[in-house]
Amino acid sequence: MAEAVINNEALNRIIASVAEIAGYIWDKGWAEKNAGNISVNLTEAVSINLKDDTLCSHRELSSPFTALAGQCFFVTGTGKRMRDIARDPLSNGLIIRIDDTGNGYHIIAPEDKNRLATLRPTSELPSHLAIHTMISNRGSKQRVVIHTHATELCALTQIKELCDGDKLNRILWGMHPETKVFIPKGVSFVPYLLPGSKELAAATVDALSKHDVALWEKHGVFAIGENIEDTFDMIDILAKSASVFFTCHAAGFEPEGLSDDQIDELGKLVF
Ligand code: 13P
Ligand code: ZN
């Protein structure tokens, strides 16, 4: 086996961040069984010698991602537990390189070849790759996509009359000042669609074209960011807002929320 890939400090840092944040996601209670998935664009962190045999096990994609040809990603494996990803990201995830046609990908050889037979990328790969395509096309620095089942945010989208981007943002921004400061564009709302489907991927890309966070009705949240810590923080802040909302209701009163003027004022703060 020729030497793999990898410019290692950058990659090691990213993988360590994945482990840390996967642990927080598990600690938050957002990751029952295999819930949630993470992908990171590694193209700048790895260099691959196309002549070596570290590019092994080619697989077809269900639809082409030509704009991503040649790009490399860490993706969590389908069925893998977030708590196990926290312990050992590289045994519970894959490094893949989209092939030169964009119709498939190579898995960069894991140390243990026997794992290849069972290791598959997340079932939400269509959404992850569609989002990375959008990010790549617009040339932004975002590299990270996190999907998790943040309980409080799942619960919000169970309230039919709140299933609308403007209404959700009014509530989320109103429950805590930092929500407007750190998620100034707010969230977008994606009506329920089958998990793992191309339709859900297309709706998510649409939703994230103007926002950094999308709430999937009755399912969870997708967020995009430049690094994994900040991407997690956005979800955490939104979950805090939703939690304040439900805590007030549980205590028997309707929260007043910040006023429109207060939210606008927060939106003008510069850091
Ligand atoms: P995977 O185990 O395939 O990543 O699926 C988890 C999930 O949350 C699906 O929406
Ligand atoms: Zn999910």
User: What is the domain-level CATH number for residue 83?
Assistant: 3.40.225.10
Amino acid at 199: E
Q: What band does 56 get if pLDDT is binned at 50, 70 and 90? A: confident
Q: Which numbered atom of ligand 1 lies nearest the CA of 79? A: 2
Q: What band does 111 get if pLDDT is binned at 50, 70 and 90? A: low
The answer to whether residue 124 is catalytic is: yes
- Do 266 and 171 share a structural domain? yes
- Do 209 and 163 share a structural domain? yes
Query: Could you count the other beta carbons within 10 Å of the beta carbon of residue 44?
Result: 11
- Whether residue 141 lies inside any domain: the answer is no
Instruction: Catalytic residue, from 124, 217, 254, 256: name it.
Output: 124
Q: Which residues surround ligand 2, an ion (CB under 5 A)?
A: 220
* Structural domain total, the chain: 2
- Do 173 and 93 share a structural domain? no
- Collapsed DSSP state (helix, strand, coil) of residue 259: coil
Q: Which numbered atom of ligand 1 lies nearest the CA of 76? A: 4
- Do 95 and 162 share a structural domain? no
Instruction: For 121-145, write each residue's pLDDT tens digit.
Output: 999 999 999 999 999 999 999 999 9
- Whether residue 134 lies inside any domain: the answer is no
- pLDDT computed for residue 270 by the predictor: 80
Ligand nearest to the CA of 76: 1
- Whether residue 143 lies inside any domain: the answer is no
- Do 119 and 2 share a structural domain? yes
- Do 174 and 106 share a structural domain? no
What is the best residue among 26, 32, 37, 200 to mutate for testing ligand 1's pocket, by most ligand atoms within 8 Å of CB?
37
- pLDDT computed for residue 3 by the predictor: 45
Closest residue by Cα to residue 133 from 187, 73, 191, 183: 73
pLDDT above 50 (res 2): no
pLDDT above 70 (res 7): no
DSSP 162: G
- Whether residue 156 lies inside any domain: the answer is yes
- Do 120 and 190 share a structural domain? no
pLDDT above 80 (res 48): no
- Do 79 and 14 share a structural domain? yes
- Whether residue 270 lies inside any domain: the answer is yes
What is the best residue among 25, 147, 151, 219 to mutate for testing ligand 1's pocket, by most ligand atoms within 8 Å of CB?
147
Ligand nearest to the CA of 128: 1
Long-range contacts of residues 101-105, Cβ cutoff 8 Å, at least 24 apart: 101/64, 101/66, 101/69, 102/61, 102/64, 102/65, 102/66, 102/67, 102/68, 102/69, 103/60, 103/61, 103/64, 104/58, 104/59, 104/60, 104/61, 105/58, 105/59, 105/61
- Whether residue 269 lies inside any domain: the answer is yes
- Ligand 2 centroid vs 22 CA: distance in angstroms? 14
Residues with CB under 6 A from ligand 1: 34-37, 76, 78-79, 122-124, 147, 195
Q: Which domain holds residue 23?
A: 1-124
What is the best residue among 33, 75, 124 to mutate for testing ligand 1's pocket, by most ligand atoms within 8 Å of CB?
124
- Do 46 and 1 share a structural domain? yes
pLDDT above 80 (res 17): yes
- pLDDT computed for residue 108 by the predictor: 85
